[in-house]
Structure formats: structure tokens, C-alpha cells
Amino acid sequence: MSDGLPKLNAARAVAVPLAAASQGVQAISKLVSEHQLGDKLSKLGSHSALEHLSSRKELLLAVLGLVLVLHGAQFKNIILVTQLVLSFLYVRVRGSVMAIYNDIKTVVDKAEADAPQAEPAKESNEDQSKHAKKRDAKKEAAKAPSAADTQAHIEASKKVLKALDSERLTNASTEVMVCLMACLLVLHGGLAQRVAISYALVAAVAGRVEGLLHFEGFEDVKSWTSSFLRFALWVVILPMAIFMGPLALILNVVAFGADLATQHGMAFLAKIGKGPDADAILGSPKGLMAFGGLVAFGTLWQVWSWAAGSGMAWYFQMLYLPAVIAEGLLGLL
């Protein structure tokens, strides 16, 4: 139907951004090369302080779990977004994003390998005055890129676009946008937030209860008995999340924190030789008692704080300052 209509040439609307993108990538690559940012980042990654923190990862996660047991409800937005991403979105988003990242990395490596070697910079005259240097710099900055240079940048960008899979890039962008939309839905409350809380709480409770129950005569349909158990938990927990939202939220964050504290705390003790194997103790009655004790204490503590209308003391707010800032920013969305 539109074959007979005159078409507007919109090539310039594409050419200008492509040329600018190519120039920007080259400028960033030059800056990284001049300042050796890659070497500096690798040295930072191997810094003794970071290596020490990495070796203490289990202890840090256990301490984080105790923090959530005591004050987890104060960071509702951070906890809900983290649980949502880990439970539903991380695997699918990571797969699509890593696929397009690998494609881009391959194209960039190939472009760097095919690029001509840069000419060595001319040595400057030591006797040249500062005013002359500034004048030369202004002249270089005033030079507009020639049409040949612009076309070369456009061709370089087109070469990159041809090597990339547009459908894969679209899928990765869609997955990221769906992830952001889901997080916004949960942050804004309502039924979506109640379902997210219920899902996390059911998963935490089911993982502990399944080890205590035995369905004699139904061992051959264990997957179905597990599904029936989770359905029964949903019947109890979802109405509680809908009609008693603060209590369900507190139980969720306390169970999440208690799980972190027991799992990684036991792993840390086993690592330093102060305790038995973590998996063995977690599956024993002692592990269950530790988890249940933390949940009971944390629930009573945070329910009392919520009922009294009190927040965190100022010194705790200073101690958790990065998390407090992140929680406030998420609350603005």
C-alpha cells in the first residue's frame, strides 16, 4: 500500500549516532590504554584486603544473616528485590545477557586484532613554552573530523552490527526490562508483593519441614507428596500475607536471615575446624533447633519493634548506612 509513497532518507539519523559511538569507543579504549586501567583493576582485585574478605565470605554471610534476624524488616525493599531476582529472574536474565556479552567481546577482540597499529607519538620539544602547547591543543580540538574519518567510523560500527545477532540483543533487552518491571510491581506493594513474600516463605518452610515428614507407602510418588505439602503451605501462608502483611514480611526476612546465619555460620566453623561437617549438622535436630530459635527470637524482636512503632537506633543506621541509602532509593521508585 505504501509502495507509491515517497520515502524519506533517514540514513543520517543512523549514521551520526554510529559514528559518534565508534569515536566514543575508540576514545575510551585509548584512555584505558594510556592510564593502564586494566592492570590497575587486576591489581585491585588481587589486593590483600579483598583476598582476606573473600576468604571470610562464609563469616560475612553469617553476620549478614544475623543482621536480617534483628533488623531485616527495615530493609523490606532490598530483601524482596533480592529474593525475586534470585528465585525467578537471575538464571534467565544471566543467560541472555551473557550470550550477547560474549558476542560483543568476540567482536571487540576481533576489531582490536584487525586494527592498524597506532603511530608513535612525536616527541615534544622540551623547550616549547606552555603557551605554545595550549595553542596547539586548541588548534587540534578545533579541527573537525573529515568526511573520510566519519565514514570510516560508520563502516566500523556497521561491521560490529553485522557480526552481532540483533534477535539475541532484543531478547536480552526484553529479559532485562521484564526483570525491572517485576521488581517495580513487587516494590509497589499489592497482590504482587504478597505473592512474592508467600513464595519465599513457602520455599523456606518447605525446605525445613520436608526433612521432618515421612509419607509411608508413598515413596514412589515423593514428588507429588512434596507438591501437596507446598500447596498446603500456600493455603496457610498466602492468606496470612494478604491479611497480616507485616507479620508475613517479618517471618520472611527472619527465615531468610536465619537460613543464611545457620548455613554459612556452620560452614565457617567447619572450615576453621571448630565444628562438624556443615551438611551433617544442618540436617540434624541441632541444626533445626538453631534455625527455629533464630526465627522465634527474630520474629518476637521485630514484631515488638513494629508494634511499638520504633525504628533502628541512629548508631545502627550509621552502621548500615549504604543499605539505608539503597533502601531509600528503592522506596522512591
Hey, which bits of 146-192 come out as E strands? none
- Grid coordinates representing 63 are 553476620
Could you give the angle at which helices 76-84 and 190-209 cross, rounded to 10 degrees? Answer: 70
Least confident range from 127-136, 152-161, 302-311: namely 127-136
For 7-89, where are the alpha helices, taking DSSP H only? 11-35, 37-45, 48-55, 57-71, 76-84
Find the mean pLDDT for residues 22-29: 68
More confident residue, 152 or 46: 152
- Of 31-40, 54-63, 120-129, 280-289, give the range with the top mean pLDDT: 54-63
Predicted pLDDT of residue 113: 58
Rounded (10°) CA dihedral 110, 113, 115, 121: 140
Rounded CA separation 176/129 (Å): 53
More confident residue, 138 or 9: 9
More confident residue, 112 or 296: 296
Predicted pLDDT of residue 297: 93
- How many Å is the Cα radius of gyration of the chain? 29
| Residue 266 confidence (pLDDT) above 60 | yes
| Residue 264 confidence (pLDDT) above 80 | yes
Find the mean pLDDT for residues 307-318: 82
| Residue 251 confidence (pLDDT) above 70 | yes
Which DSSP string do the residues of 298-319 spell out, in sequence order? Answer: HHHHHHHHHHHT----HHHHHH
Rounded CA separation 253/7 (Å): 59
Q: Convert the pLDDT of each residue in 58-82 to its tens digit.
A: 888 888 999 999 988 889 899 999 8
